[in-house]
Amino acid sequence: MPSVEGEEDGEVAFERYTSPFELQTRQSSGPLRTLKRVLIPNRGEIALRIIRACHEEGLEAVAVYSAADRGSAHVRAADRAIAIGPAAPSQSYLSIERLIAAARESGADAVHPGYGFLAERASFAEAVQAAELIWVGPPAPAIRAMGDKTEARRRMRDAGVPVVPGGGAPVTDQREAFALAEEIGYPVIVKAVSGGGGKGMRVVRDASGLAAALDTAASEALKAFGDAGIYLEKFIARPRHVEIQILADEERTLHLGERECSIQRRHQKLVEEAPSLALSVDLREWMGSAAVSAAQAVGYRGAGTCEFLLTDDNSFYFLEMNTRIQVEHPVTELVYGVDLVREQLRIAAGEPMRVHPGWLNPRGWALECRITSEDPANGFLPSTGRIEYLRVPAGPGVRWDSGIEIGDEVTLYYDSLLAKLIVWAPDRAQAITRMTQALDELVVVGVATNQAFHRRLMTDPEFRKGEIDIQFLERRPDLLTPSDSPARVLDLAVAAALAEDHARQARRPAAVEAGSASEWARQARREGLR
């Protein structure tokens, strides 16, 4: 046995290895006392994600399902599942009454809404709490304050968070709007007070276009949000979309760095990454503390995200706060080593979060590709059908968050997100290589997907250099449409089938002997199956 310098043989003290994570969580692990059973009024990949987190926290999970989701993976993964109505969301996943009834019936003591559906409806948070259930989300007043975009702007400005120059209140008459636009300078952007996600926005280049933009934006806002309120901001050209992840418990409000979400098409994010190439350590701390101030200004608790526009000269402006867990949360989880959904559950249960600020440094690089049932060859229209075959990528640093399985029917009732393919690697170049490989492993048969778009993007030199902003895909329509003609794709498919047949012939035994084997086995050998 080799001796250790400075110590006598036999005197080496062996200490059990303690991971940094255990050190930071030692005082606060164990089952959640105030929580036992969580109802998840959602479906698909996020329902499964929350069910897994519940089980890891020692909690029971109650799923709900519409008629279209009776056979879905989330229904089987939960400890109990409750039917809530027909496929149409308005009569199932959006029905506050049915969801509260399901919570009561199942004896749940908490509700985790996920994202989409009712996750950011302050009145749903209130209904949950009125039923004496724990809401796994921020306080209803924080949801409400951030949902009203002009109120959010005023509160942020008062808290010292940089907002885009513009109006602090909704536009009430045209003369006032013209004066404000002159003051902030063209181009300006007209936005809906109850908007978000880009609906009802209008960019105005000069005074000649303002009156018409105010009219169309107001009527679009009324149609989409039931509120015609609009306001003005200076239009920021070609910024990056960078958002900061927040976690807050009763004691502390922390940020977990940024996600770069500039790769989007028509306000739908397609690829997200963490960290962002555009942020230095200093800029991360500036944006991080702005986001912490934003959260504190509305009494935020739980997980939330502050969206910013970041310009070339490193100016950043608060846009809005998303008061929910987001689709792209996994990239933050992978670079910060924090399970955000488990922390949401702990915070809701009144426990301190298991996050030590001293450990909050990004490590390596994470990328997420949203695999959607949208057909790039058909203008990105949603495609439907049965998942006939599915081969899921795997390997080191590869994560597949999905609710779909072979046999599932993809319909038009719900959004088109089939899965999130997420990779981690030590640096951005290796993460892109790993993502390319994972995309090559992925096979989805039965519905058209945007998989080929992701593969083109990952091999694009401009993307690999990180030269991206929110207009990237507008400048690169070549990435959105298949480069191969349908005839070429058919040629490739025929070639692949011939190669496969050739390989099978080579594997087939030269002669099929009779006698010993059963007729099944002999037939299988003739077919080259074994």
The residue within the footprint of ligand MV4, chosen from 233, 258, 272, 328 (CB under 6 A), is 233
198 binds ligand MV4 (CB under 6 A): yes
Q: Per CB under 6 A, which region of 12-20, 232-240, 321-329, 350-358 contacts ligand MV4? A: 232-240
457 binds ligand MV4 (CB under 6 A): no
State how far the Cα of 345 lies from the Cα of 356, in Å rounded to an integer. 17
Tell me how far the alpha carbon of residue 356 is from its chain's centroid: 24
The residue within the footprint of ligand MV4, chosen from 260, 320, 401, 469 (CB under 6 A), is 320
Of 253 and 322, nearer to ligand MV4 (C-beta) is 322
300 binds ligand MV4 (CB under 6 A): no
Pair of tokens at residue 445 = 């048969």
Of 95 and 305, nearer to ligand MV4 (C-beta) is 305
Q: Per CB under 6 A, which region of 64-72, 83-91, 118-126, 233-241 contacts ligand MV4? A: 233-241
Contact between residue 257 and residue 362 where contact means Cβ atoms under 8 Å apart: yes
Of 58 and 198, nearer to ligand MV4 (C-beta) is 198
Q: Per CB under 6 A, which region of 46-54, 150-158, 189-197, 457-465 contacts ligand MV4? A: 189-197
Residue corresponding to tokens 């070549």: 478
C-alpha to C-alpha distances, 416 to 197, 224, 268, 385, nearest whole angstrom: 16, 20, 11, 12
62 binds ligand MV4 (CB under 6 A): no
Tell me how far the alpha carbon of residue 483 is from its chain's centroid: 28
Residues 6+ apart with CB under 8 A from 530: 521, 524
The residue within the footprint of ligand MV4, chosen from 267, 363, 475, 488 (CB under 6 A), is 267
Number of residues lying near ligand MV4 (CB under 6 A)? 17
Residue corresponding to tokens 């304050």: 145
State how far the Cα of 435 lies from the Cα of 429, in Å rounded to an integer. 10
Residue positions counted in the chain:
530
The residue within the footprint of ligand MV4, chosen from 236, 377, 392, 524 (CB under 6 A), is 236
- Cis status of the peptide bond prior to 31, with omega within 30 of 0: no
| Three-class SS state of 66 | strand
Cβ-based neighbour number of residue 462 at 10 Å:
13
241 binds ligand MV4 (CB under 6 A): yes
Q: Per CB under 6 A, which region of 16-24, 54-62, 234-242, 477-485 contacts ligand MV4? A: 234-242
Closest distance between ligand MV4 and the C-beta of residue 173, in Å? 22
State how far the Cα of 345 lies from the Cα of 43, in Å rounded to an integer. 18
C-alpha to C-alpha distances, 46 to 41, 269, 325, 328, nearest whole angstrom: 10, 16, 9, 11
The residue within the footprint of ligand MV4, chosen from 117, 231, 235, 336 (CB under 6 A), is 235
| Subset of 91-150 contacting ligand MV4 (CB under 6 A) | none
The one catalytic residue among 144, 324, 399, 434: 324
Pair of tokens at residue 360 = 């909050």
C-alpha to C-alpha distances, 201 to 204, 223, 414, nearest whole angstrom: 10, 13, 24
The residue within the footprint of ligand MV4, chosen from 145, 171, 189, 242 (CB under 6 A), is 189
Does the annotation count 464 as an active-site position? Answer: no
Q: Would you give the DSSP letter of residue 313?
A: T
Residues in contact with ligand MV4 by CB under 6 A are 164, 189, 196-198, 233-236, 241, 264, 267, 307, 309, 319-320, 470
Q: Which residues are catalytically annotated?
A: 324
